[in-house]
Amino acid sequence: METIRILHTNDLHSHFEHFPKIGRYLKKAQADQSVDQVYTFDAGDFMDRSHPLTDATKGHANVELMNSFGYDALTVGNNEGISNSHRALEHLFDHAAFPVVLANLREENGDMPKWALQAKIITTKKGTRIALIGLTADYPLSYAPNHWHVLSLKKAMDKVLPRLEGQYDVLILLTHIGLRFDHWLAKNYPIDLIIGGHSHDLLRNGEFDNGTWITQTGKWGNYVGDIHLELDAQHRVKKLVPKVIATATLPALPEDETVVQAYRDRGQKILSKEKVAELPEKFADNRQAAIKISLDAIADFAGTDIAMLSSGLFLTPFKAGILTKCDLQKALPHSMHVVRSTLKGSDLWRLVMEIEKNRHYLDHFHLQGMSFRGKIFGQMQYKGLRFDHHTKKVYVHGKEIDFNQEYRLAVLDHYVLVPFFPTLAIVGRNKFLFPKFLREVIGDYLTKKYPINTGSEEDDRRKL
């Protein structure tokens, strides 16, 4: 008989406050002499550019920490795959000490990314061959404009499994696709274990479906997965017992808070060195001024004259004087992309009706599970649109909307994906604009609109 211990995480989202505890737990478990072997895996979204250190280093600090934690393999989530530009993702794993398994992402020409393996065979000390396959969320609308080609789960599995036939004894999938699709895989393919993520489900003792164990540890490093696996003499799974460990129950050390704060300080120090713009006095503690200029920015970026943004996105106002990337990151930490949506006038009218119907509900709606997109949704604010509450009429730049005319407006991917405004997702012709995300778009616009004065007052007088 062979015994294996499998440690796993998912959806850490740069919640570095848990990293000291997680690191110690993994190191101690990896030294476990009561089992034949210990493996450590991650199922994606280990980084999130809402944290200043991740943003400042484009995720390389996260990879450094994952190296120190001794991971044996991981797959990528949508945060790695979509929040990064194509170039940034190409170099994210340049110094990784672990392989990245990912069967359903390709370069535009169909080649495998140089930083990923379609699958990997791990052979244990006792000769058991474990096949690892990674899968990420199938988001063609987001991956395609970022110059990636993402395969459907079925197409990817039907390609990779025949190539591995006869080469493995145990099949483990690292998936960042969500629990619903993990169950679909379990029902359609002979898999021993799925270590999943993306949907932030906490499966305290796993779920068993059609001969496949499915595990997931929730989100943000609140739990660590710990699986006990027993194999018989023929290298077949005899027993598999999943469990999770609450990070809050793990012992803390006095220096943990200092270490965690140092992560944030390091990121903010890097970002503070990068100056964006020199803003006039009207921006001092004025959230409305920040929203208005941001509406102008996304409209300019999308090439439209209509735009909308929700006030809850702005965690802090901008400020007068020198604005740095650190200031922008504090105000808008979310990794959201601008979308150019084309709608008929009748559909734009209906979208505005959906917004106005939900306005009071969304004003204080807590974005549970999506706090990296703000604490509350807030008020939707318009550029180029006006709604008359008495007549229910919508005006575009002062003229009543033409139901037969087409209009283009700048929105965010968030508004296409949330369920409050179905018109955008159902009938909108939506183009996701990459690679820059919201605060980069706004930062670039502020740089053009309010460039930093590099000369002294004396220099200015000499020019007159």
Q: Tell me the pLDDT of the chain averaged across its residues.
A: 95
Does 3.40.50.80 match the CATH number of domain 274-449?
no
- CATH code reported for the domain at 2-259: 3.60.21.10
Amino acid at residue number 38: V
Q: Is 325 helix (H, G, I), strand (E, B) or coil?
A: helix
Phi and psi at residue 313, in whole multiples of 5°?
A: -65, -30
Angle in degrees, 0-180, between the axes of helices 179-188 and 153-164, rounded to the nearest 10: 40
- Among residues 70, 369, 333, 26, the alpha carbon closest in space to that of 200 is found at 369
In contact, 304 and 406? CB cutoff 8 Å: no
Higher pLDDT, 251 or 461: 251
Placement of tokens 């504090």 in the chain:
330
Token pair for residue 225?
């997965």
Token pair for residue 263?
């992560």
Phi-psi region of 110 (alpha: psi -120 to 50; beta: other; left: phi over 0): left
Per-residue model confidence as pLDDT tens digits over 374-419: 678 999 999 999 999 999 999 999 999 999 999 999 999 999 988 8
Placement of tokens 């007068």 in the chain:
320
For residue 252, what is the DSSP state? P
How much is the pLDDT for 374?
A: 66
d(CA 333, CA 336): 9
Average pLDDT, integer, range 34-62? 97
- Among residues 158, 116, 114, 155, the alpha carbon closest in space to that of 138 is found at 155
d(CA 147, CA 107): 7
In contact, 384 and 305? CB cutoff 8 Å: yes
How much is the pLDDT for 455?
A: 63
Question: What is the number of alpha carbons within 13 Å of residue 138 lying toward its C-beta?
Answer: 11
Average pLDDT, integer, range 30-56? 97
- Among residues 89, 71, 69, the alpha carbon closest in space to that of 80 is found at 89
Amino acid at residue number 283: F
CA 28 to chain centre: 29
In contact, 281 and 320? CB cutoff 8 Å: yes
How much is the pLDDT for 368?
A: 55
How much is the pLDDT for 366?
A: 81
The percentage of residues in the chain with a pLDDT greater than 90, rounded to a whole number, is: 93
The percentage of residues in the chain with a pLDDT greater than 70, rounded to a whole number, is: 96
pLDDT confidence bin for 108, thresholds 50/70/90: very high
- Among residues 251, 118, 234, 127, the alpha carbon closest in space to that of 173 is found at 118
pLDDT confidence bin for 364, thresholds 50/70/90: confident
190 upstream amide cis, omega within 30 of 0:
no
For residue 458, pLDDT over 50 is answered with no
d(CA 200, CA 217): 7
Question: What is the number of alpha carbons within 13 Å of residue 297 lying toward its C-beta?
Answer: 25
- Predicted TM-score (pTM) of the model is 0.93
Amino acid at residue number 387: F
Break the chain into its structural domains and give their ranges.
Answer: 2-259, 274-449
pLDDT confidence bin for 373, thresholds 50/70/90: low
Residue 119 neighbours by CB under 8 Å, 6+ apart: 101, 103, 131, 132, 133, 134, 160, 163, 164
For residue 76, pLDDT over 70 is answered with yes
How much is the pLDDT for 53?
A: 98
For residue 463, pLDDT over 50 is answered with no
How much is the pLDDT for 457?
A: 47
For residue 152, what is the DSSP state? P
Token pair for residue 308?
């909308």
For residue 183, pLDDT over 90 is answered with yes
For residue 370, pLDDT over 50 is answered with no
